[in-house]
Protein backbone atom coordinates (compact mmCIF):
# COMPACT_ATOMS: atom_id res chain seq x y z
CA UNK A 1 0.00 0.00 0.00
CA UNK A 2 1.30 3.45 -0.85
CA UNK A 3 2.35 5.97 1.79
CA UNK A 4 -0.59 8.26 0.93
CA UNK A 5 -3.09 5.41 1.34
CA UNK A 6 -1.70 4.56 4.75
CA UNK A 7 -1.95 8.19 5.72
CA UNK A 8 -5.59 8.22 4.67
CA UNK A 9 -6.31 5.13 6.75
CA UNK A 10 -4.58 6.67 9.75
CA UNK A 11 -6.45 9.94 9.29
CA UNK A 12 -9.86 8.25 9.08
CA UNK A 13 -9.10 6.13 12.13
CA UNK A 14 -8.09 9.30 13.98
CA UNK A 15 -11.36 10.99 12.96
CA UNK A 16 -13.30 7.93 14.16
CA UNK A 17 -11.43 8.01 17.47
CA UNK A 18 -12.26 11.70 17.96
CA UNK A 19 -15.91 10.87 17.29
CA UNK A 20 -15.79 8.19 19.99
CA UNK A 21 -14.30 10.67 22.46
CA UNK A 22 -17.03 13.16 21.64
CA UNK A 23 -19.61 10.39 22.03
CA UNK A 24 -18.47 9.70 25.59
CA UNK A 25 -18.51 13.40 26.35
CA UNK A 26 -22.04 13.73 25.00
CA UNK A 27 -23.33 10.69 26.86
CA UNK A 28 -22.20 12.17 30.17
CA UNK A 29 -25.36 14.30 30.31
CA UNK A 30 -28.99 13.54 29.30
CA UNK A 31 -29.23 16.90 27.55
CA UNK A 32 -26.39 16.00 25.15
CA UNK A 33 -26.97 12.23 24.93
CA UNK A 34 -28.55 12.37 21.46
CA UNK A 35 -25.55 14.27 20.12
CA UNK A 36 -23.24 11.77 21.80
CA UNK A 37 -25.04 8.88 20.14
CA UNK A 38 -24.77 10.62 16.76
CA UNK A 39 -21.00 11.01 17.23
CA UNK A 40 -20.71 7.35 18.25
CA UNK A 41 -22.61 6.09 15.21
CA UNK A 42 -20.62 8.35 12.90
CA UNK A 43 -17.32 7.17 14.35
CA UNK A 44 -18.28 3.52 13.99
CA UNK A 45 -19.44 4.07 10.39
CA UNK A 46 -16.14 5.75 9.50
CA UNK A 47 -14.12 2.99 11.19
CA UNK A 48 -16.10 0.21 9.49
CA UNK A 49 -15.91 1.71 6.00
CA UNK A 50 -12.19 2.42 6.39
CA UNK A 51 -11.50 -1.13 7.55
CA UNK A 52 -13.46 -2.66 4.67
CA UNK A 53 -11.61 -0.43 2.20
CA UNK A 54 -8.28 -1.44 3.75
CA UNK A 55 -9.13 -5.13 3.44
CA UNK A 56 -10.11 -4.62 -0.19
CA UNK A 57 -6.82 -2.84 -0.92
CA UNK A 58 -4.73 -5.52 0.83
CA UNK A 59 -6.54 -8.26 -1.04
CA UNK A 60 -5.98 -6.50 -4.36
CA UNK A 61 -2.27 -6.09 -3.61
CA UNK A 62 -1.97 -9.76 -2.69
CA UNK A 63 -3.42 -10.57 -6.14
CA UNK A 64 -5.81 -13.08 -4.61
CA UNK A 65 -8.44 -14.69 -6.78
CA UNK A 66 -12.08 -15.35 -6.12
CA UNK A 67 -12.52 -12.58 -3.60
CA UNK A 68 -13.90 -14.97 -0.99
CA UNK A 69 -12.26 -13.16 1.92
CA UNK A 70 -13.73 -9.78 1.00
CA UNK A 71 -17.10 -11.41 0.33
CA UNK A 72 -17.10 -12.94 3.81
CA UNK A 73 -16.30 -9.55 5.33
CA UNK A 74 -19.21 -7.91 3.52
CA UNK A 75 -21.47 -10.80 4.50
CA UNK A 76 -20.47 -10.35 8.14
CA UNK A 77 -21.18 -6.61 7.98
CA UNK A 78 -24.61 -7.16 6.41
CA UNK A 79 -25.65 -10.01 8.71
CA UNK A 80 -24.27 -8.42 11.87
CA UNK A 81 -25.66 -5.01 11.02
CA UNK A 82 -29.05 -6.52 10.23
CA UNK A 83 -29.19 -8.40 13.53
CA UNK A 84 -28.15 -5.28 15.41
CA UNK A 85 -30.76 -3.11 13.69
CA UNK A 86 -33.49 -5.69 14.31
CA UNK A 87 -32.54 -6.06 17.98
CA UNK A 88 -32.40 -2.30 18.51
CA UNK A 89 -35.84 -1.85 16.96
CA UNK A 90 -37.55 -4.75 18.72
CA UNK A 91 -35.95 -4.80 22.16
CA UNK A 92 -38.06 -3.38 24.98
CA UNK A 93 -36.57 -0.77 27.28
CA UNK A 94 -36.85 -3.22 30.19
CA UNK A 95 -34.76 -5.72 28.20
CA UNK A 96 -31.97 -3.28 27.39
CA UNK A 97 -29.64 -4.45 30.20
CA UNK A 98 -29.54 -8.07 29.00
CA UNK A 99 -29.09 -6.85 25.41
CA UNK A 100 -26.04 -4.87 26.55
CA UNK A 101 -24.69 -7.97 28.34
CA UNK A 102 -25.22 -10.03 25.19
CA UNK A 103 -23.33 -7.46 23.09
CA UNK A 104 -20.45 -7.53 25.57
CA UNK A 105 -20.24 -11.30 25.21
CA UNK A 106 -19.90 -10.98 21.43
CA UNK A 107 -17.04 -8.49 21.81
CA UNK A 108 -15.22 -10.90 24.11
CA UNK A 109 -15.77 -13.83 21.75
CA UNK A 110 -14.56 -11.74 18.79
CA UNK A 111 -11.34 -10.96 20.68
CA UNK A 112 -10.73 -14.67 21.27
CA UNK A 113 -11.45 -15.58 17.63
CA UNK A 114 -9.09 -12.88 16.33
CA UNK A 115 -6.38 -14.04 18.71
CA UNK A 116 -6.71 -17.62 17.46
CA UNK A 117 -6.43 -16.39 13.84
CA UNK A 118 -3.34 -14.33 14.63
CA UNK A 119 -1.63 -17.23 16.40
CA UNK A 120 -2.42 -19.54 13.50
CA UNK A 121 -1.29 -17.24 10.63
CA UNK A 122 0.46 -14.10 11.91
CA UNK A 123 1.83 -13.28 8.44
CA UNK A 124 -1.69 -12.66 7.17
CA UNK A 125 -1.91 -9.78 9.64
CA UNK A 126 1.55 -8.53 8.53
CA UNK A 127 3.01 -9.24 11.99
CA UNK A 128 5.64 -11.69 10.74
CA UNK A 129 6.56 -13.49 7.53
CA UNK A 130 6.05 -17.24 6.95
CA UNK A 131 8.66 -19.26 8.81
CA UNK A 132 9.31 -16.54 11.41
CA UNK A 133 8.11 -17.00 15.00
CA UNK A 134 5.79 -14.53 16.69
CA UNK A 135 7.73 -11.98 18.77
CA UNK A 136 7.39 -12.19 22.54
CA UNK A 137 5.54 -8.86 22.75
CA UNK A 138 2.85 -10.03 20.35
CA UNK A 139 2.47 -13.32 22.19
CA UNK A 140 2.00 -11.46 25.45
CA UNK A 141 -0.62 -9.19 23.89
CA UNK A 142 -2.46 -12.20 22.46
CA UNK A 143 -2.39 -13.96 25.82
CA UNK A 144 -3.89 -10.93 27.60
CA UNK A 145 -6.46 -10.31 24.86
CA UNK A 146 -7.56 -13.96 24.84
CA UNK A 147 -7.74 -14.16 28.63
CA UNK A 148 -9.79 -10.97 29.03
CA UNK A 149 -11.96 -11.76 26.01
CA UNK A 150 -12.81 -15.26 27.23
CA UNK A 151 -13.68 -14.01 30.73
CA UNK A 152 -15.83 -11.28 29.18
CA UNK A 153 -17.68 -13.74 26.96
CA UNK A 154 -18.62 -16.35 29.54
CA UNK A 155 -19.21 -13.78 32.29
CA UNK A 156 -21.52 -11.77 30.04
CA UNK A 157 -23.49 -14.90 29.15
CA UNK A 158 -24.11 -15.56 32.86
CA UNK A 159 -25.03 -11.89 33.40
CA UNK A 160 -27.46 -12.11 30.48
CA UNK A 161 -29.14 -15.13 32.02
CA UNK A 162 -29.41 -13.53 35.46
CA UNK A 163 -30.84 -10.31 34.03
CA UNK A 164 -33.28 -12.11 31.77
CA UNK A 165 -34.76 -14.26 34.53
CA UNK A 166 -36.31 -16.63 31.94
CA UNK A 167 -34.10 -19.65 32.47
CA UNK A 168 -34.43 -22.29 35.20
CA UNK A 169 -30.77 -23.30 35.06
CA UNK A 170 -29.34 -22.52 38.50
CA UNK A 171 -26.39 -20.52 37.20
CA UNK A 172 -28.85 -18.10 35.55
CA UNK A 173 -30.88 -17.50 38.70
CA UNK A 174 -30.79 -14.09 40.40
CA UNK A 175 -29.65 -15.57 43.72
CA UNK A 176 -25.88 -15.85 44.29
CA UNK A 177 -24.38 -19.30 43.64
CA UNK A 178 -21.57 -20.19 46.01
CA UNK A 179 -19.83 -23.33 47.26
CA UNK A 180 -17.00 -24.16 49.71
CA UNK A 181 -13.55 -23.29 48.44
CA UNK A 182 -14.88 -21.12 45.65
CA UNK A 183 -12.35 -18.32 46.07
CA UNK A 184 -9.44 -20.79 46.35
CA UNK A 185 -10.60 -22.44 43.12
CA UNK A 186 -10.70 -19.06 41.38
CA UNK A 187 -7.21 -18.29 42.66
CA UNK A 188 -5.91 -21.66 41.48
CA UNK A 189 -7.37 -21.15 38.00
CA UNK A 190 -5.90 -17.64 37.84
CA UNK A 191 -2.43 -18.96 38.74
CA UNK A 192 -2.76 -21.72 36.15
CA UNK A 193 -3.78 -19.16 33.54
CA UNK A 194 -0.70 -17.06 34.21
CA UNK A 195 1.57 -20.13 34.10
CA UNK A 196 0.08 -21.34 30.82
CA UNK A 197 0.33 -17.84 29.39
CA UNK A 198 4.03 -17.70 30.22
CA UNK A 199 4.59 -21.10 28.63
CA UNK A 200 2.86 -19.85 25.48
CA UNK A 201 4.86 -16.60 25.45
CA UNK A 202 8.28 -18.24 26.00
CA UNK A 203 7.72 -21.33 23.83
CA UNK A 204 10.68 -21.84 21.44
CA UNK A 205 10.40 -22.53 17.75
CA UNK A 206 8.32 -21.20 14.90
CA UNK A 207 5.23 -23.32 15.52
CA UNK A 208 2.88 -21.78 18.12
CA UNK A 209 2.38 -23.56 21.43
CA UNK A 210 -1.22 -24.52 20.81
CA UNK A 211 -1.69 -26.79 23.84
CA UNK A 212 -1.06 -24.18 26.57
CA UNK A 213 -2.90 -21.56 24.52
CA UNK A 214 -6.07 -23.66 24.14
CA UNK A 215 -6.05 -24.82 27.77
CA UNK A 216 -5.52 -21.22 28.87
CA UNK A 217 -8.50 -20.07 26.78
CA UNK A 218 -10.75 -22.83 28.17
CA UNK A 219 -9.78 -22.02 31.76
CA UNK A 220 -10.49 -18.33 31.10
CA UNK A 221 -14.00 -19.26 29.90
CA UNK A 222 -14.53 -21.21 33.12
CA UNK A 223 -13.16 -18.38 35.27
CA UNK A 224 -15.61 -15.94 33.67
CA UNK A 225 -18.48 -18.14 34.85
CA UNK A 226 -17.06 -18.60 38.34
CA UNK A 227 -16.53 -14.89 39.05
CA UNK A 228 -20.09 -13.94 38.01
CA UNK A 229 -22.26 -16.74 39.50
CA UNK A 230 -21.66 -15.67 43.15
CA UNK A 231 -22.96 -12.18 42.35
CA UNK A 232 -26.62 -11.62 43.23
CA UNK A 233 -29.24 -9.95 41.10
CA UNK A 234 -29.10 -6.78 43.21
CA UNK A 235 -25.55 -6.18 41.98
CA UNK A 236 -26.17 -6.88 38.29
CA UNK A 237 -26.03 -3.19 37.25
CA UNK A 238 -22.44 -3.05 38.46
CA UNK A 239 -21.65 -6.34 36.69
CA UNK A 240 -22.90 -4.93 33.38
CA UNK A 241 -20.64 -1.91 33.82
CA UNK A 242 -17.69 -4.08 34.83
CA UNK A 243 -18.09 -6.38 31.82
CA UNK A 244 -18.33 -3.30 29.62
CA UNK A 245 -14.90 -2.33 30.89
CA UNK A 246 -13.54 -5.85 30.30
CA UNK A 247 -14.78 -5.86 26.70
CA UNK A 248 -12.96 -2.58 26.07
CA UNK A 249 -9.66 -3.88 27.40
CA UNK A 250 -10.06 -7.06 25.32
CA UNK A 251 -10.51 -4.95 22.18
CA UNK A 252 -7.52 -2.78 23.09
CA UNK A 253 -5.33 -5.86 23.62
CA UNK A 254 -6.21 -7.22 20.20
CA UNK A 255 -5.61 -3.76 18.74
CA UNK A 256 -1.99 -3.93 19.89
CA UNK A 257 -1.57 -7.32 18.25
CA UNK A 258 -3.02 -6.07 14.97
CA UNK A 259 -1.21 -2.73 15.20
CA UNK A 260 -4.60 -1.06 14.80
CA UNK A 261 -4.56 2.38 16.44
CA UNK A 262 -8.33 2.81 16.21
CA UNK A 263 -8.99 -0.43 18.11
CA UNK A 264 -6.47 0.57 20.76
CA UNK A 265 -8.03 4.01 21.27
CA UNK A 266 -11.65 2.83 21.17
CA UNK A 267 -10.95 -0.14 23.45
CA UNK A 268 -9.09 2.03 25.94
CA UNK A 269 -11.95 4.54 25.99
CA UNK A 270 -14.52 1.82 26.67
CA UNK A 271 -12.30 0.08 29.21
CA UNK A 272 -11.41 3.18 31.21
CA UNK A 273 -14.91 4.70 31.12
CA UNK A 274 -16.44 1.37 32.17
CA UNK A 275 -13.99 1.09 35.07
CA UNK A 276 -14.75 4.65 36.21
CA UNK A 277 -18.50 4.01 36.00
CA UNK A 278 -18.10 0.76 37.95
CA UNK A 279 -16.24 2.65 40.68
CA UNK A 280 -18.97 5.31 40.85
CA UNK A 281 -21.66 2.63 41.07
CA UNK A 282 -19.76 0.72 43.74
CA UNK A 283 -19.76 3.85 45.87
CA UNK A 284 -23.50 4.22 45.23
CA UNK A 285 -24.07 0.62 46.42
CA UNK A 286 -21.46 0.62 49.19
CA UNK A 287 -19.47 -2.12 47.49
CA UNK A 288 -15.73 -2.69 47.28
CA UNK A 289 -14.33 -1.88 43.84
CA UNK A 290 -11.66 -4.56 44.12
CA UNK A 291 -14.27 -7.17 45.04
CA UNK A 292 -16.10 -6.22 41.86
CA UNK A 293 -12.98 -6.82 39.79
CA UNK A 294 -12.30 -10.17 41.47
CA UNK A 295 -15.95 -11.30 41.48
CA UNK A 296 -18.13 -12.70 44.22
CA UNK A 297 -19.10 -9.37 45.74
CA UNK A 298 -22.84 -10.04 46.13
CA UNK A 299 -24.51 -9.62 49.46
CA UNK A 300 -24.81 -12.41 51.99
CA UNK A 301 -27.64 -14.65 50.71
CA UNK A 302 -28.58 -15.79 54.19
CA UNK A 303 -28.84 -12.26 55.46
CA UNK A 304 -30.88 -11.20 52.50
CA UNK A 305 -33.22 -14.13 52.89
CA UNK A 306 -33.69 -13.32 56.54
CA UNK A 307 -34.54 -9.77 55.65
CA UNK A 308 -36.97 -10.86 52.95
CA UNK A 309 -38.92 -13.21 55.23
CA UNK A 310 -39.77 -10.75 57.97
CA UNK A 311 -43.06 -11.14 59.77
CA UNK A 312 -45.80 -9.37 57.87
CA UNK A 313 -46.76 -5.96 59.23
CA UNK A 314 -49.85 -3.89 58.56
CA UNK A 315 -49.65 -1.27 55.83
CA UNK A 316 -51.88 1.62 54.89
CA UNK A 317 -53.21 1.37 51.34
CA UNK A 318 -55.24 3.72 49.21
CA UNK A 319 -56.50 4.27 45.68
CA UNK A 320 -55.19 6.24 42.73
CA UNK A 321 -57.87 8.85 43.45
CA UNK A 322 -56.55 9.25 47.01
CA UNK A 323 -53.00 9.68 45.72
CA UNK A 324 -54.11 12.23 43.11
CA UNK A 325 -55.96 14.24 45.75
CA UNK A 326 -52.93 14.33 48.04
CA UNK A 327 -50.57 15.43 45.26
CA UNK A 328 -53.01 18.01 43.87
CA UNK A 329 -53.09 19.73 47.26
CA UNK A 330 -49.32 19.68 47.76
CA UNK A 331 -46.88 22.47 47.05
CA UNK A 332 -43.93 20.21 46.23
CA UNK A 333 -43.77 16.65 44.88
CA UNK A 334 -40.70 14.51 44.21
CA UNK A 335 -41.09 11.45 41.97
CA UNK A 336 -38.75 8.47 42.41
CA UNK A 337 -38.91 6.20 39.31
CA UNK A 338 -37.84 2.56 39.51
CA UNK A 339 -37.82 -0.66 37.55
CA UNK A 340 -41.59 -1.07 38.00
CA UNK A 341 -42.09 2.09 35.94
CA UNK A 342 -39.94 0.61 33.16
CA UNK A 343 -41.80 -2.71 33.17
CA UNK A 344 -45.16 -0.94 32.81
CA UNK A 345 -43.79 1.49 30.20
CA UNK A 346 -45.57 4.24 32.09
CA UNK A 347 -43.14 7.09 31.47
CA UNK A 348 -45.42 8.87 28.98
CA UNK A 349 -48.42 8.69 31.33
CA UNK A 350 -46.18 9.95 34.12
CA UNK A 351 -45.16 12.97 32.08
CA UNK A 352 -48.84 13.76 31.50
CA UNK A 353 -49.52 13.52 35.23
CA UNK A 354 -46.63 15.86 36.00
CA UNK A 355 -47.83 18.38 33.42
CA UNK A 356 -51.29 18.48 35.02
CA UNK A 357 -49.84 18.85 38.52
CA UNK A 358 -47.55 21.62 37.31
CA UNK A 359 -50.52 23.36 35.70
CA UNK A 360 -52.14 23.38 39.15
CA UNK A 361 -49.11 25.14 40.60
CA UNK A 362 -47.39 22.08 42.12
CA UNK A 363 -43.58 22.06 41.90
CA UNK A 364 -42.57 18.59 40.64
CA UNK A 365 -39.08 17.10 40.43
CA UNK A 366 -37.67 13.69 39.57
CA UNK A 367 -35.07 12.01 41.80
CA UNK A 368 -32.75 9.47 40.13
CA UNK A 369 -30.63 6.96 42.04
CA UNK A 370 -27.35 5.98 40.28
CA UNK A 371 -28.34 2.29 40.17
CA UNK A 372 -32.11 2.57 39.78
CA UNK A 373 -33.38 0.01 37.28
CA UNK A 374 -31.12 -2.67 35.89
CA UNK A 375 -28.32 -0.68 34.31
CA UNK A 376 -26.62 2.69 34.74
CA UNK A 377 -28.79 5.52 33.41
CA UNK A 378 -31.83 3.27 32.95
CA UNK A 379 -34.24 5.80 34.48
CA UNK A 380 -32.66 8.73 32.68
CA UNK A 381 -33.22 6.97 29.35
CA UNK A 382 -36.85 6.23 30.23
CA UNK A 383 -37.59 9.84 31.10
CA UNK A 384 -35.71 11.11 28.04
CA UNK A 385 -37.82 8.79 25.88
CA UNK A 386 -40.91 10.60 27.21
CA UNK A 387 -39.19 13.96 26.58
CA UNK A 388 -39.23 14.95 30.24
CA UNK A 389 -37.47 18.35 30.60
CA UNK A 390 -33.91 17.85 31.81
CA UNK A 391 -34.20 20.64 34.37
CA UNK A 392 -36.79 18.55 36.26
CA UNK A 393 -34.46 15.56 36.66
CA UNK A 394 -32.01 15.52 39.58
CA UNK A 395 -29.35 13.06 40.69
CA UNK A 396 -29.31 11.66 44.23
CA UNK A 397 -26.62 13.94 45.63
CA UNK A 398 -28.38 17.03 44.27
CA UNK A 399 -31.85 16.32 45.64
CA UNK A 400 -31.39 14.31 48.84
CA UNK A 401 -31.32 17.46 50.93
CA UNK A 402 -34.80 18.44 49.72
CA UNK A 403 -36.78 15.42 50.88
CA UNK A 404 -37.16 16.76 54.42
CA UNK A 405 -38.98 19.85 53.11
CA UNK A 406 -41.06 18.01 50.48
CA UNK A 407 -44.83 17.59 50.90
CA UNK A 408 -45.22 14.36 48.88
CA UNK A 409 -42.86 11.75 47.47
CA UNK A 410 -44.27 9.42 44.80
CA UNK A 411 -42.26 6.18 44.55
CA UNK A 412 -43.00 4.27 41.34
CA UNK A 413 -41.71 0.72 41.31
CA UNK A 414 -38.50 1.53 43.21
CA UNK A 415 -37.52 -0.53 46.23
CA UNK A 416 -33.95 -0.97 47.45
CA UNK A 417 -32.88 2.55 46.45
CA UNK A 418 -35.37 4.07 48.95
CA UNK A 419 -35.05 1.46 51.71
CA UNK A 420 -34.26 3.10 55.08
CA UNK A 421 -32.72 -0.22 56.17
CA UNK A 422 -29.51 1.09 54.61
CA UNK A 423 -29.19 3.29 57.70
CA UNK A 424 -29.15 0.20 59.96
CA UNK A 425 -25.56 -1.03 60.56
CA UNK A 426 -26.85 -4.61 60.85
CA UNK A 427 -28.65 -4.59 57.49
CA UNK A 428 -27.17 -6.44 54.48
CA UNK A 429 -27.35 -3.12 52.57
CA UNK A 430 -25.91 -1.06 55.45
CA UNK A 431 -24.10 2.01 54.15
CA UNK A 432 -25.67 1.93 50.70
CA UNK A 433 -26.54 5.52 49.73
CA UNK A 434 -30.30 5.84 49.21
CA UNK A 435 -32.80 8.46 48.15
CA UNK A 436 -34.04 9.71 51.51
CA UNK A 437 -37.73 9.56 50.63
CA UNK A 438 -38.56 8.49 54.20
CA UNK A 439 -37.99 12.08 55.35
CA UNK A 440 -40.90 13.52 53.34
CA UNK A 441 -44.15 14.62 54.97
CA UNK A 442 -46.21 12.14 52.93
CA UNK A 443 -45.08 9.15 50.88
CA UNK A 444 -47.05 7.37 48.15
CA UNK A 445 -45.64 4.06 46.94
CA UNK A 446 -46.92 2.31 43.83
CA UNK A 447 -46.05 -1.39 43.52
CA UNK A 448 -47.74 -4.48 42.18
CA UNK A 449 -47.32 -6.23 45.54
CA UNK A 450 -45.31 -6.20 48.75
CA UNK A 451 -42.60 -8.33 47.13
CA UNK A 452 -39.02 -7.48 48.05
CA UNK A 453 -36.59 -5.86 45.63
CA UNK A 454 -33.39 -7.23 44.08
CA UNK A 455 -31.65 -7.31 47.45
CA UNK A 456 -34.37 -9.60 48.86
CA UNK A 457 -35.07 -7.26 51.78
CA UNK A 458 -38.30 -6.04 53.30
CA UNK A 459 -38.61 -2.26 52.89
CA UNK A 460 -39.29 -0.36 56.11
CA UNK A 461 -40.49 2.61 54.07
CA UNK A 462 -43.70 0.76 53.23
CA UNK A 463 -44.69 0.51 56.91
CA UNK A 464 -44.14 4.11 57.95
CA UNK A 465 -47.16 5.95 59.38
CA UNK A 466 -46.91 8.60 56.65
CA UNK A 467 -46.74 6.05 53.79
CA UNK A 468 -49.70 5.02 51.62
CA UNK A 469 -49.39 2.02 49.30
CA UNK A 470 -51.20 2.08 45.96
CA UNK A 471 -51.12 -1.42 44.48
CA UNK A 472 -51.36 -2.14 40.76
CA UNK A 473 -49.66 -1.81 37.40
CA UNK A 474 -47.82 1.52 37.26
CA UNK A 475 -49.29 2.60 33.94
CA UNK A 476 -52.88 1.88 34.95
CA UNK A 477 -52.42 3.54 38.33
CA UNK A 478 -50.84 6.65 36.81
CA UNK A 479 -53.54 6.90 34.16
CA UNK A 480 -56.14 6.73 36.92
CA UNK A 481 -54.27 9.51 38.74
CA UNK A 482 -54.35 11.65 35.59
CA UNK A 483 -58.15 11.29 35.37
CA UNK A 484 -58.53 12.03 39.07
CA UNK A 485 -56.44 15.21 38.82
CA UNK A 486 -58.70 16.40 35.99
Where does a domain end: 67, 90, 113? 90
**Spatial contact of 475 and 349, defined as CB atoms under 8 Å apart:** yes
**76: CB partners within 8 A, 6+ apart:** none
- Please say if the pLDDT value at position 438 is more than 50: yes
* pLDDT computed for residue 297 by the predictor: 47
- Please say if the pLDDT value at position 364 is more than 90: yes
442-472 as b/e, with b when 16 or more CB fall inside 10 Å? Answer: bbbbbbeebebbbbbbbbbbbbbeebbbbeb
> Catalytic residue among 300, 391, 407, 416, which?
416
Q: Are residues 83 and 102 in the same domain?
A: no
Give me the domain span that covers residue 80: 1-90
Q: Are residues 115 and 256 in the same domain?
A: yes
Q: Are residues 233 and 208 in the same domain?
A: yes
Q: Are residues 131 and 173 in the same domain?
A: yes
Our count of domains for the chain comes to 3
Q: Per residue in 271-291, pLDDT tens?
A: 898 888 888 777 766 666 666
Q: Are residues 82 and 104 in the same domain?
A: no
- Give me the mean pLDDT over the 243-261 stretch: 84
- Give me the mean pLDDT over the 4-15 stretch: 80
Where does a domain end: 270, 299, 328? 299
- Please say if the pLDDT value at position 119 is more than 60: yes
Q: Is residue 358 part of a domain?
A: yes
Q: Is residue 325 part of a domain?
A: yes
* pLDDT computed for residue 351 by the predictor: 94
* pLDDT computed for residue 382 by the predictor: 83
C-alpha–C-alpha distance, residues 308 and 328, integer Å: 34
For 454, how many CA atoms within 13 A lie in the half-sphere containing its CB? 30
Q: Outline where 131-235 has alpha helix (H).
A: 136-164, 182-202, 210-228
- Please say if the pLDDT value at position 150 is more than 70: yes
Mean pLDDT of all residues belonging to the chain = 83
Q: Are residues 335 and 421 in the same domain?
A: yes
For 59, how many CA atoms within 13 A lie in the half-sphere containing its CB? 16
Mapped onto helix, strand or coil, the DSSP state of residue 104 is: helix
* pLDDT computed for residue 105 by the predictor: 87
Q: Are residues 216 and 193 in the same domain?
A: yes
* pLDDT computed for residue 408 by the predictor: 96
Q: Is residue 305 part of a domain?
A: no
- Give me the mean pLDDT over the 461-483 stretch: 94
Q: Per residue in 257-266, pLDDT tens?
A: 777 888 888 8
Q: Are residues 81 and 107 in the same domain?
A: no
Q: Is residue 150 part of a domain?
A: yes
460 labelled catalytic: no
What are the angstrom distances between the C-alpha of 223 and each of 123, 151, 218, 475? 31, 6, 9, 42
* pLDDT computed for residue 476 by the predictor: 94
Q: Is residue 304 part of a domain?
A: no
Q: Is residue 357 part of a domain?
A: yes
For 281, how many CA atoms within 13 A lie in the half-sphere containing its CB? 25
Q: Is residue 388 part of a domain?
A: yes
For the residues of 215-250, what is the DSSP string, one character each? HHHHHHHHHHHHHHTTS-GGGHHHHHHHHHHHHHHH
Q: Are residues 332 and 409 in the same domain?
A: yes
**Spatial contact of 236 and 159, defined as CB atoms under 8 Å apart:** yes
C-alpha–C-alpha distance, residues 485 and 479, integer Å: 10
Looking at residue 363, which CATH number applies to its domain? 3.40.50.1220
* pLDDT computed for residue 306 by the predictor: 43
Measure the CA angle with vertex 394, ends 389 and 400; round to 5°. 150
- Please say if the pLDDT value at position 108 is more than 80: yes
- Please say if the pLDDT value at position 1 is more than 70: no
Q: Is residue 307 part of a domain?
A: no
**358: CB partners within 8 A, 6+ apart:** 364
- Please say if the pLDDT value at position 402 is more than 90: yes
Q: Per residue in 178-228, pLDDT tens?
A: 788 888 898 899 999 999 999 999 988 778 889 999 999 999 999 999 888
* pLDDT computed for residue 58 by the predictor: 65
- Please say if the pLDDT value at position 477 is more than 90: yes
**Crossing angle between the packed helical segments 182-202 and 136-164, to the nearest 10 degrees:** 150
Q: Are residues 29 and 131 in the same domain?
A: no
More confident site: 451 or 337:
337
Q: Are residues 416 and 287 in the same domain?
A: no
Q: What does the CA dihedral 71, 74, 75, 79 come to, rounded to 10 degrees?
A: 180
* pLDDT computed for residue 154 by the predictor: 92
* pLDDT computed for residue 285 by the predictor: 67
**113: CB partners within 8 A, 6+ apart:** none
Amino acid sequence: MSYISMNLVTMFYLIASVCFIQALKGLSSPSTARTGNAFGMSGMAIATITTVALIFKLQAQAATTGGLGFTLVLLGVVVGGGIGAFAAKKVEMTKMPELVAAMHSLIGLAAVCIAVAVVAEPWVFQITTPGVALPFGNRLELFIGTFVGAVTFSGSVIAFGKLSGKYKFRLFQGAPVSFPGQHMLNLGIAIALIALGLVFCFAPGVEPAWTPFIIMALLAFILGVLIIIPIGGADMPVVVSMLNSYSGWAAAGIGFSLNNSMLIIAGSLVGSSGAILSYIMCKAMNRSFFNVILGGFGGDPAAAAAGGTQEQRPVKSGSADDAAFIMSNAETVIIVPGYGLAVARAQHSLKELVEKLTHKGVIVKYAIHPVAGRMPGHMNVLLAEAEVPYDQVFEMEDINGEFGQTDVVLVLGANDVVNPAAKDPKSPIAGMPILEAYKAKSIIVNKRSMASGYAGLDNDLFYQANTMMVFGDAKKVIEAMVKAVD
